[in-house]
Structure 1
């Protein structure tokens, strides 16, 4: 069934009650081609021609510009970031100069870095296809080597000794290549290009780690091996490609003034016709909650419908749990309506074992699978074959991410369908009411925070193992930031580093810092996971089979949200029950269970700004916005069982309190004293207003900074939270990163309070609910640490208008 016929079918069946609130027809875009001005060798031209790519006359405009910039030999040679849409041929931008240079110079080497093993395998196949028809001779031969965790040790030795183009990932660069850099001297000495693919994936925690890994690589190349590689960075379309590239690669430590990046954004790739549906199963007037049937319409029924009409589909889910639930429900629907298709659907997410992920990728590419419920793990550019439909179950956290996901369908320029299914969240409903706010929205900025003190500390220890810190005065501060000495001093005091030249204590205040070595015989990199800030993780172990099997791992700070005695845990569509949580050994034991409910943990979170009253200034006039360290403490006390169909809680069970604590970065604005006085005089419950307004501000944040519930939180308040303590509880809006040490979200939010307030007022004002405590479409949040207790919608509007009166337009301040 073609897309138009399927849309007509939906309008008369599942959407017959008006669920489709908007249809956006995005026309096809023709290719913009530019002949290449740079002269390439006949061998390079022939290699690409054999793969069906005419790089001399038929390059897209962005490809030609990127290649010419990289190959321009005028000093200083520029790094390049290419930011263009899905399936726009970004790999040509780095493959052409790499192959041209490696064919011409037998000492030149290149390093390709991909965020996932699957992407690396994809590129390996593509490169071998391009090079397969080149005549083999001493002048044209260069070996391509895959270097990841799946490669055998003997093959790794072969790669180190003979390969000139190394394909790897940040994890292997971090834990293997850099610590043993002497074994890679040939590669590092001749390193001409470093390719950083899918750079938009390097954001938040992962991106902050990768930024420090790249700085360690540049440091070794410059100071030990005499090379200065050009970086070729590819990314999906983002708002700040140049800034993001700079945040990722930093500056050359010796000549930062000559470190230039050029952004290529003139996307010349063609695009097929796209039909984009906005699907809103929102509450109808008079309803207090959705029926089970309506809820299934917005999730599983659509995926099942695509599969039954032989349309290959990805259903993007915001969370791992939702991904598993969608698979469970979809299979239930198919078993009753089309049993032969029940095994044609699967789920795909992080946390699976590598062998499971490779099998799903292979089955999706070959057409064995028709539907996959996935997190953003399949958002990246791995080739999964031709897809017909993408479903987007809730706003994914950024407009850029939504477009990247939608680009997975129609990758062969065919007519494709994308369906954005709204949840009850404020942004979902905002876009359903105002479609142009989505389709005309500017893209958000990517973010990396390479100054996270915890991450810097981890990578400084790694860098000191690879080469003594401060061996070259003032250079390491360029690589690792202004607090390098301070953090190094902490490591020295904790005996994790030692003075490389003497036995005396290292002096932080010395005019010239003495070199420091890592005080260990093994690389600290082995204890630093680049995918998380936390080093401690819980293993999830299935004890239902003949042998115990580790099926997943969870960061320690998030473990109590997912595993506890009695918790329902889902994996690959299977429902498991947690029977035991071994906290000292950090292990959760689960087994298969036939239950018709899921579980929701009960917890409370408090936020504390170190310094107490000293953290604030007088707030009589101008708003005082601060960004600094914040301590987060979460206490878990029990869980509820929730019926799978009705979503009703039917049981609660307590367990002994368990607490997690971490220090992160937050931004806060204390409510001015005159506003507090006026609220009291007017009989407004200010605490409830602050709580509700904080939710509204947080709901508005993803329009400016890509983030999700797992990345950022706000200070939430319940009436009895401070009842039995003497803790000072100021009136304030406080937003914080939900990651140890922070990842830069709160830092960006600190400059956006006024913009957030404008969007927040609109979100709350346009919500039609009449409840005093609002609803999930305005001032409630599913992730609220106080379970949406003690909030007031009207108080939130009053407070936002008063606090930001000078920043809101007159139309925003109408009482």
Structure 2
């Protein structure tokens, strides 16, 4: 999708035609008098048809192709132009020129990559100084001639995933898939032939084009190649573009035109899934009338600030309900004008009672700031309320400013954390605010789910208790949410209130919304087993294609690493295709960036300076970043609700918009690929709040008792369940049936009750390039250990940095900017162990127990690999292991030892079977949990630990175990949901393993691979599909005939189970 080729046979290159026919040399197009009758090889040009210069160029390519292929097969070094030149000099009998190399790329731009790499990055790639003595290009800075610090590298694209693969070494045990073996000589020859055939076809296309345009093919090739000669980045003339050339973006296209043209592109390979095409028709607005008139001042302010003359009927219904003293839940799609539903009532209330106060609670600081700006825009046109003070009260609010806010603020923008730890425990200082509270706004209610949702529900009950302590019964709750299942039930559970009015329709206008699924094409279209091209690469191509046409686009990635990898791909492709003018138009955005950086990106997007943004779900929420035309989702996100939320980010100008779901090869993606209509018809997963969680309730009762002594009789209207029993068991009893906090929670209970899994020990990543000391982002300890260890390649805004130092005591990481084409992959293992059993159930088979409770997660990183784009190991590095521990919730199944022994009889590795079974189950969990992705993890196995020849010191229990990635406090209790549906999950996993057509022992993305394999989270080395199938079938009580399954690769029973111990 990067380039727009000419249609039909003119799709090789864009050309500037000659001014007149007198410039044309047609002699080179004439055939020789005595053509050869010898047939050429399949796919190769008949040499008598080639002009002499083309014939010579083809010979040069074949020499380069053969030499490069064998060089690449024998060395881990990057193939540089000086290395290639010295290797072919004898065969060519001269030096290869840069112009010739550029001519080759002009003929087949999709086959050859020419990039300059810094000398520093090449040396760091393998810790070898072999590159230092290579000749480098010189350039002039206008006065002096200088030697470049960059070396030109040459890379020939593999034509098939299966052609150039190192053979796996055979041995007594399974081997790591990243182990470097030998190349298959037959595969090398096949690859050489394939590339020669592609080059010959490129020459044919170029000749046909020249013939149709009546231009000299030799002259034309030289002219085009001269434009493409690569230039070192440190040269003064560092851009191949001439002044003003190609800097103007293409004219805006309608979404309908883009959709039509997308399938007509020369690079289109049938990626659009026809069955998925879906259009939501344009919707006309519907207006309503309020039951009472707004003041002229407020009407004028709405018109002046937002150009609003009338309100939509859903806004009217919500405001009327608030005026009738009802609580309101608004559950509608994005961009429906939800913010006006709470802005208008509070401004109307303030005009009637200047003492009125309001809390506006948002899950993130960015969203609070965005909504504060929006409200102040309206207020700026209301002179009568000019003295009203609106403040943000969060963790960034200076201590010295807090007293003034408490005493004078009318509207507070805050978050649940501040309510819990600061406002409610100090409510007597806030008595003015609570006495006059009229409106409490809780935005993005769908965020409050699982354990975090229970925490917030308890905070809301504590808040109601305090407000009513100040004899205030005039307050109302209003909650806004994305479209969710049973929104009234959700609001009842969050606030514990009745009399709720539901607004679940949208009367605002919207343009037509086009939806499609994009299935990456096969690597080799003639080989269905070749696998599919990476979804992230397809998304990069789509983003560039759309941005070129001024289609403002957002791309959603599941994890930070994918976000940065995609941005890195985009930057690389733009540079390779000489479209540097687009670099400043596309940026990435995700959690972890500094506040200043994120605000800057938001402003750039809002002002229309960016045409593309690559983000994680940090932009799913309603931050106003302006109007977007297209949304691309790479891989299934956490849930259908998240997917729909991401789609809704496009189409905010009442114009047509499009949403593209680029599917991965993971089972949940494949499930929706096979059932595309479910994306639009399947209900959202129901949000769950376990208000019977006695531990969490007891913790918040400690906080409530600190705020006001608890009377179990009168306070039972706020706290459901066995209030007296819980207080009796966990709190300190006082006379007169009152309860106070238990002494162990004193002096300040809220400080001991953590509502999110926030680690205070954040690390700061600092760019020290050229001694500039710029803070890039904040990282949690787990992320540091997995991606910011000393020597790691760290990607930020698509740019690569090398981590120089990691200071654990100071929580400081330093890095410096280096352009590298390789990456680092951690060598690690994780121990997950049960700590406390909180529940048990029995599988339907009747004799296998499933437990759920508290688990500990300990991460060990003991080194890393340097790997290139082809996943070849360039170097192996050891580092000091600094384990990181986290406490979380999870569930587990102890595998009976007789099952492990049965696997060993078949010489099937027990650890690989357990690991594969875990991933097979985990890949299906999003279907039931309503969430997923990286939110549920398991104990992954390391090939280095499992397959080493000597006796292993790390022997692990034979257990399937899973845990919530967000920790004990911050998660959505997803493992508990999966635990509830474990019987259905087991049956589905058995069915998928049994019916998957792959014959690979490690399985494939359709049966085993979960998204834990994305971004190197799990190496996927220690897997056995057949062992997993046998194990799962036995756990659910199905009969197993071992003779139907192939033997494993282990030499004997001992090796098959030597890294496991009975539970």
TM-score with structure 1 setting the length: 0.82
Correspondence for 2:918: 694
Partner of residue 705 from structure 1, selected from 902, 905, 929: 929
CA deviation profile, 1:718-746 (whole Å, cap 9, x unmatched):
68659746967245x43221233253111
**Does the Cα contact within 8 Å between 2:359 and 2:411 map onto a contact in 1?**
yes
* 1:650 aligned onto 2:857: no
The structure-2 alpha-carbon separation of the partners of 1:791 and 1:451, relative to structure 1 and needing over 3 Å to count, comes to farther
Cα contact 1:111–1:195 (8 A) shared by 2: yes
In 2, distance between residues paired with 1:10 and 1:672? 54
Q: State the Cα distance separating 1:530 from its structure 2 match.
A: 6.0
> 2-side partners of 1:642 and 1:570: how far apart?
15
Q: Distance in 2 between matches of 1:182 and 1:394?
A: 49
Secondary structure at 1:324 match in 2: helix
Aligned partner of 2:1023 among 791, 796, 800: 791
Give, in angstroms, the shift of residue 589 of structure 1: 2.2
2:360 maps to: 112
Deviations 1:17-43 (A, max 9, x none): 212223523132535746356334445
Matched, 1:276 2:524: no
Gaps of 5+ in 1: 252-257, 493-505, 807-815
CA–CA distance in structure 1, aligned partners of residues 266 and 728 of structure 2: 61
SS, match of residue 985 in structure 2: helix
1:186 deviates by: 1.5
- State the SS of the aligned residue for 1:656: coil
Residues 310 and 203 of structure 1: CA distance in aligned 2, closer, same or farther (over 3 Å): same
> In structure 2, what is the equivalent of residue 544 of structure 1?
769
Q: C-alpha separation between the residues in 2 aligned to 1:597 and 1:337?
A: 22
Q: How does 1:490-509 map to 2 (within 5 A)?
A: none
State the 1:752 CA deviation. 1.6
Is 1:195 the equivalent of 2:424? no
Counterpart position of 1:420:
661
Q: Distance in 1 between matches of 2:908 and 2:850?
A: 24
Equivalent residues in 2 for 1:342-361 (5 A)? 342-361=583-602
Quote the offset at 1:381 in angstroms.
1.2
CA–CA distance in structure 2, aligned partners of residues 456 and 191 of structure 1: 25
CA distance in 2, matches of 1:134, 1:341: 42
Contact 2:836–2:855 (CA under 8 A) maintained in structure 1: no
**Partner secondary structure for residue 621 of structure 1:** coil
Deviates more, 1:36-45 or 1:332-341: 36-45
Partner of 1:502: none
* Equivalent in the alignment of 1:593: 818
Once the two structures are superposed, residues 641-687 of structure 1 have per-residue CA deviations (whole angstroms, 9 ceiling, x without a partner) of 221x3233332212233323333222234568998898789987776
Q: Distance in 2 between matches of 1:612 and 1:386?
A: 49
Match of 2:891 in 1: 667
Q: Provide the C-alpha distance between the structure 1 equivalents of 2:348 and 2:1031, rounded to a whole number of angstroms.
A: 62
CA distance in 2, matches of 1:411, 1:620: 52
Equivalent residue number for residue 734 of structure 1 = 961
Distance (whole Å) between structure 1 residues aligned to residue 488 and residue 672 of structure 2: 29
Q: Secondary structure at the match of 2:739?
A: coil
Could you list the per-position Cα deviations for residues 425-445 of structure 1 after superposition, in whole angstroms to 9, with x for gaps in the alignment? 222233333322433332123
Deviations, residues 335-365 of structure 1 (Å, cap 9, x unaligned): 3432222111111111112111111111111
Aligned to 2:281: 28
Q: Secondary structure at the match of 1:413?
A: coil
Q: Which residue is 2:635 aligned to?
A: 394
Secondary structure of 1:167 counterpart: strand
Tell me how far apart the structure 1 counterparts of residues 701 and 800 of structure 2 sit (CA, whole Å).
42
Question: Does 2:341 match 1:93?
Answer: yes
Shift of 1:202: 3.6
Q: In the alignment, does 2:600 pair up with 1:371?
A: no
The 3 A distance-change label for structure 1 pair 131 and 86 is same
Q: What is residue 554 of structure 1 aligned with on the other side?
A: 779
- Structure 1 counterpart of 2:804: 579
Match of 1:6 in 2: 258
Secondary structure at 2:478's aligned position in 1?
A: strand
Task: Map Cα deviations across residues 25-62 of structure 1 (whole Å, 9 max, x no partner).
Answer: 3132535746356334445566546644456xx523x4
Per the alignment, residue 81 of structure 2 pairs with none
- Cα deviation for residue 516 of structure 1 reads 5.4
Which of 788, 799, 807 matches 1:563?
A: 788
Q: Residue 832 of structure 2 aligns with which residue?
A: 607
* Aligned equivalent of 2:1006: 777
Whole-Å Cα distance in 2 between the matches of residues 485 and 761 of structure 1? 44
Structure 1 pair 485/660, CA: closer, same or farther in 2 (3 Å)? farther
Q: Give the conservation status (yes or no) of the 8 Å contact 2:394–2:418.
A: yes
Secondary structure of the structure 2 residue equivalent to 1:590:
strand
| 1:427-438 matches, cutoff 5 A | 427-438=668-679
Matches within 5 A, 1:670-689: 670=894, 688-689=912-913
Aligned to 1:265: 504
Distance 1:793 1:470, change over 3 A: same
Any idea what the Cα deviations from partners look like across 1:580-614, whole Å, max 9, x if unmatched? 22223332222222322221212222332347999
Instruction: Report the TM-score when normalising by structure 2.
Output: 0.65
Name the counterpart of 1:17: 269
> What's the offset of the Cα at 1:235?
0.6
d(CA) in 1 for partners of 2:455, 2:396 = 22
More deviation in 692-701 or 530-539? 530-539
Q: Distance in 1 between matches of 2:744 and 2:838?
A: 39
Residue 394 of structure 1: CA displacement?
Answer: 1.6
Answer yes or no: is the 8 Å Cα contact 1:83–1:236 preserved in 2: yes
Structure 1 residues 388-412: Cα deviation after superposition (integer angstroms, max 9, x where no partner)? 1111122222111111111111112
Q: What residue number does 1:535 align with?
A: 760
**Alignment coverage as a number of residue pairs:** 771
Superposed, 1:64-143 pairs within 5 Å as 64-73=316-325, 78-134=326-382, 136=384, 142-143=388-389
Contact 2:925 2:932 in 1 (8 A): no
Q: CA deviation at 1:373?
A: 1.0
For 1:728 and 1:39, the matched residues in 2 are separated by 70
Task: Answer whether contact 1:757 1:800 (CA < 8 A) is retained.
Answer: yes
Structure with the greater alpha carbon radius of gyration: 2
Q: 1: distance between equivalents of 2:556 and 2:838?
A: 45
Tell me the secondary structure at the aligned position of residue 273 of structure 2.
strand
Structure 1 contact 464–516 (Cα < 8 Å) conserved: no
Q: Per the alignment, in what secondary structure is the counterpart of residue 263 of structure 2? A: helix
Once residues 816 and 632 of structure 2 are traced to their aligned partners in structure 1, the CA distance between those partners, rounded to angstroms, is 31
Establish whether residue 404 from structure 1 lines up as the match of residue 645 from structure 2: yes
TM-superposed CA distance for 1:229, in Å, is: 3.4
Q: CA deviation at 1:125?
A: 3.6
Deviation at 1:560, TM superposition (A): 0.9
Is the 2:454–2:691 Cα contact (8 Å) retained in structure 1?
yes
Q: Which residue, 866, 869, 876 being the options, matches 1:641?
A: 866
Contact 1:324–1:570, Cα closer than 8 Å, also in 2: yes
Q: Secondary structure at the match of 2:434?
A: helix
Describe the superposition over 1:604-652 as per-residue Cα deviations: whole angstroms up to 9, x where unpaired.
Answer: 2233234799989899726543322223333222112221x32333322
Task: Check 1:666–1:590 CA distance in 2 against 1; reply closer, same or farther (3 A cut).
Answer: same
In the TM superposition, residue 65 of structure 1 has moved relative to its aligned partner by 3.6
1:195: how far off?
Answer: 0.3
How far apart are 1:371 and its partner, in Å?
A: 1.0
| Match of residue 440 from structure 1 | 681
